[in-house]
Amino acid sequence: MRTPSTPTDPGFDVVVLGAGLNSLNLTIAFHQQYGMRCTTVVRIPVEMNARTVSTDLVELGADATDEDMRDALLDLAAQRPEGRPALLLTNADSLIAFINRFRDDLEPHYLLAQVPAELLERLADKAEFAELCEELGIGTVPTVVVDFSRQEEDGWNGTAELPWSYPVVGKAANTAEYHDVHFPGKRKVFFLETAAQQQELVADLRAAGFTGRFLFQELIPGDDTAERSITAYRSSRGKVTLLCAAQVLLGEHTPEALGRPAAMVTGDFPTLTDAAARFLDAVDYVGFANFDVKVDPRTGRECFFEINPRIGRNNYYVTATGESVARHVVEDRVHGRDITPVRVTEPVLYSILPVPLVLRYLRDPVLRSRVKRLARTRLANPFRYGPEGLWMRAYATVSGLNFVRKYRAVYPRPTDSGF
């Protein structure tokens, strides 16, 4: 942990848990806004976190337990001058659960900005999320919930016919419950083209011992460009201070990463940001949140899929507009005050992919022209953040080439469904 003598010392410290782009985008935001280096604590190091100018890395080792991580955080806190505040942040669901598990140990030493465990458990369940949206008049996807804990009961709906034509989408209601279940062909999201495939998946889940809830949803047509992402911050005093929405251009398509946006355009989406704010206020949310939405091209209906109780992997799309995500949590938790609410409408092209690859998948000529124009003037890639060194710029190039190979293998051309 650095001392207050650091030349760019902002008067507080930031500790981020977890590796990869999830953490890098956060530490870049603090570096850009405050000129500071964060401390990133990881079990297994990732080169991008070791090479960035935005953080110092603390490696615990692959065998480190949750207790080891807690102890490391307490050791860092002990090195900090008395009275100096420190934020503890993460951008991974499992590590949010970790912070809540050890909240009593950590809260005396760190400022936290996340929902308590009870609300986290409720929001992490996609079925619960859909029910909340329905109560608030927020559009969601037509869904059948299959509860595998009730599979031995009479009338269990796991073998019942679904009420829509195929294909349909399948996903676990709670990713934490699904994380430790293993079976051949396991995916984060399933694209099921026949009733036989759907029933085969039900059988696989039963055989693997899955006892959570699984969602089967009507497939909303439209390729990746029908998807939207919303990033928000709601303060500990109950004010939504940040709202920013973006249209997805292209998402990742490998089985383990399906659904992660990789290229987006920010803009003005008032109905989406209004709905997001209404939801956050209704549940008395605290901290960063990220919503996944898809717009039904048949009707224009906005269907909210889920809320991620964290800022989201690609949050650099907000920072790139000139609105630092860092200052929202700093003003709230470090300085104890709300800032004037911000709704970002500035257009920026965020992409960790080569622009020619993105353009290849855009079938709307108007959108394609807009992306070309933004690529010349408003292109943002966190791996090309200005103060970074040669290694990160080389990584951006190599990573881009690897993405080209991946898309050729798993998603060689755009489809009407995005699958």
Q: What angle do CA 305, 313, 337 make, to 5 degrees?
A: 90
Averaged pLDDT for residues 14-43 = 97
Instruction: Give the per-residue pLDDT at 1.
Output: 45
- Band (7; pLDDT cuts 50, 70, 90): low
The model's pTM: 0.90
Instruction: Give the per-residue pLDDT at 143.
Output: 92
CB 363 within 8 A of CB 414: yes
On the question of a cis peptide bond just before residue 167, with omega within 30 degrees of 0, the verdict is yes
Percent of the chain having pLDDT more than 70? 98
Instruction: Give the per-residue pLDDT at 6.
Output: 52
Instruction: Give the per-residue pLDDT at 64.
Output: 97
Higher pLDDT, 28 or 126: 28
- Band (256; pLDDT cuts 50, 70, 90): confident
- Residues 6+ away with beta carbon under 8 Å from 243: 230, 231, 232, 273, 276, 277, 341, 342, 343, 344
Is the pLDDT at 127 greater than 90? The verdict is no
Instruction: Give the per-residue pLDDT at 4.
Output: 40
Is the pLDDT at 3 greater than 80? The verdict is no
Q: How many helices (H) and strands (E) does the chain have?
A: 15, 17
Please tell me the distance from the alpha carbon of residue 234 to that of residue 273, in angstroms, as a whole number: 13
Averaged pLDDT for residues 365-384 = 97
Averaged pLDDT for residues 384-411 = 95
Give the tokens for residue 291: 């919503």
Which one, of 146, 123, 132, lies nearest residue 288 by Cα? 123
Digit-coded pLDDT (tens) for 276-306: 999 999 999 999 999 999 999 999 999 999 8
Cross-strand bridge partners of residue 172? 214
Instruction: Give the per-residue pLDDT at 335.
Output: 97
Averaged pLDDT for residues 88-108 = 95
Give how far Cα 359 sits from Cα of 195, 198, 263, 264, 413, Å.
35, 34, 10, 12, 11
C-alpha count within 13 angstroms, C-beta hemisphere, residue 144: 18
Phi and psi, residue 310, nearest 5°: -165, 175
Give the tokens for residue 247: 């249209």
Is the pLDDT at 128 greater than 70? The verdict is yes
Digit-coded pLDDT (tens) for 302-339: 999 989 999 999 999 999 999 999 999 999 999 999 99
- Band (96; pLDDT cuts 50, 70, 90): very high
